Amino acid sequence: MAAIVASALFMQNLDSTVVATALPSMARSLGEDPLVMGVAITSYLVALTVFIPLSGWVADRFGAKQVFMAAIATFTLASALCGLSDGLATMVAARILQGLGGAMMVPVGRILLLRRVRKDELLTVTTWLSMPGLLGPVLGPPVGGLLTDLISWRAVFWINVPVGMLGLVLVWRIIPALPAPPPVPPDIRGLTLVGAALTCLMFAFETLGRGLVPNPIPQIVLLAGLGLTALAVRHCLRVENPALDFRLLSIPSFRVPAVAGTVFRVGAGAVPFLIPLTLQLGFGASASKSGMISFATAVGAFTMKPMAQFALRRFGFRNVLIWNALLGALAVALCGAFRPGWPLTAIFLVLMVGGLFRSLHFTTLNTLAYADVPQEKLSAATSLYSTAQQLPLALGVAVASAVLQASVAIAGRSEAAMPDFTMGFLAGALLTAAAAPLSLGLPRDAGEGIVRR
């Protein structure tokens, strides 16, 4: 069952890494600036984030298995539409539909598993669930580069179609339906406030200081987003069954993965966006060569999965989250030192070590987050934590894009150069390192029921 649910993760992870590698080719084909084409990534991630709060209620109302199958079908159809896009507007529309499918697909698949495992099985299930999903990033960059160079960037979306069809058949034949809990009415007002706040914030982050829309529209939208965020949090703390249950943050083992993990993911989310651009625009590498080099990050991530149990047993959850955040930040900062004169072996090793640190961090966060959540709160916890997982990925791309364009503008250049990419990586490193002090609030015995020291 974990392997079948992981087919959804495979599609999602393959899609994100393939698109980043194909971005420069997509920009040339559609007549857009490569930095502006970052909206093809962020539009998907924003839609994913906006619709995730609905996933828990929809799964409880219509059945987790049925919603999971519908989500896979939606994601697969949207992937085909992305491949048929003839402009930035149609691409963004198809990516938003993809985000709707992904918002229901991964969180609901996680619910299917979490309702069937004991606490002492969490680490094993998380590891098995994550390892097949990591095949997406492992295969994404080289497959994306080869498909882009040999066929077209459109093929990087069509590759999801056979995977989605296979996933649908396996879910239908093998995964049993879960008994649906008693339905509760949806928090329509909360969902509206949360969706509007996230949409405004991401629009502002994507456009602020980049000249995509005239001033002061981004500034006004940013203020509106902050105001809506305050109203959404206030509302969700006052109602019984909120769109996002922030009361779960009173559980330390959930709060630290949600809050510190968000900050870590913003910094880490900049790396998959910056690496292909650095190699193709800064080094002049082809899409296929860029993919073969950048897939080192996923190789390191895949290598770490069997080592995660040893690290957590030896050092404990708290120490791993603190020190690994600093090591991960150092790996991101080293990427900013890349120059065309570097040996490819050295670049590959730096990316692989960085992927190893990030994989250990994500496994630790994802295992700990649900350790002390009551069964009746699993749907609410999945919605809130999945939002905290996805929003930073969009923020990471938006922050990296903004830093790149600001650096280009300050230097008076017409296009991005290596010093601009360095500034993007340093911004990512600072955000990654900021997760370390935020993890100090975790009790020293956190995770004792998951792994025994």
- Whether residue 208 is found in the same domain as residue 255: no
**Measured distance CA(29)–CA(87) in Å, rounded:** 9
- 453 located within any domain: no
- 182 located within any domain: no
Please give the residue range of the domain that contains residue 233: 187-242
Q: What pLDDT is stored for residue 133 in this prediction?
A: 56
Which residues neighbour 283 within 8 Å (Cβ) at sequence distance 6 or greater?
290, 340
- Whether residue 156 is found in the same domain as residue 277: yes
- Whether residue 146 is found in the same domain as residue 161: yes
Are 433 and 332 in contact by the 8 Å Cβ rule? The answer is: no
- Whether residue 228 is found in the same domain as residue 238: yes
- Whether residue 346 is found in the same domain as residue 373: yes
- Whether residue 49 is found in the same domain as residue 163: yes
Boundary-marking domain end, from 242, 265, 284: 242
- In a 10 Å sphere around its CB, with 0-12 CB exposed, 13-18 middle and 19+ buried, how is residue 375 labelled? exposed
Boundary-marking domain end, from 242, 259, 278: 242
- Whether residue 323 is found in the same domain as residue 406: yes
In this prediction the pTM is 0.76
Q: What pLDDT is stored for residue 97 in this prediction?
A: 93
> pLDDT below 70 — which residues of the chain?
16-17, 35, 38, 119, 127-141, 178-183, 206, 208-212, 305, 394, 449, 451-453
Q: What pLDDT is stored for residue 181 in this prediction?
A: 65
- Whether residue 317 is found in the same domain as residue 219: no
- Whether residue 259 is found in the same domain as residue 363: yes
For 32, phi and psi rounded to 5 degrees?
-120, 160
- Whether residue 48 is found in the same domain as residue 118: yes
- 35 located within any domain: yes
Q: What pLDDT is stored for residue 331 in this prediction?
A: 94
Boundary-marking domain end, from 227, 242, 257: 242
Q: What pLDDT is stored for residue 234 in this prediction?
A: 94
- Whether residue 374 is found in the same domain as residue 261: yes
Count of domains forming the chain: 2
- Whether residue 77 is found in the same domain as residue 220: no
Which residues neighbour 289 within 8 Å (Cβ) at sequence distance 6 or greater?
145, 279
CA dihedral 431, 437, 439, 444 (to 10 degrees): 160
- 447 located within any domain: no
The radius of gyration computed from the CA coordinates of the chain, to the nearest angstrom, equals 21
Q: What pLDDT is stored for residue 125 in this prediction?
A: 74
Q: Can you give the CATH number for the domain in which 36 is found?
A: 1.20.1250.20
Q: What pLDDT is stored for residue 35 in this prediction?
A: 64
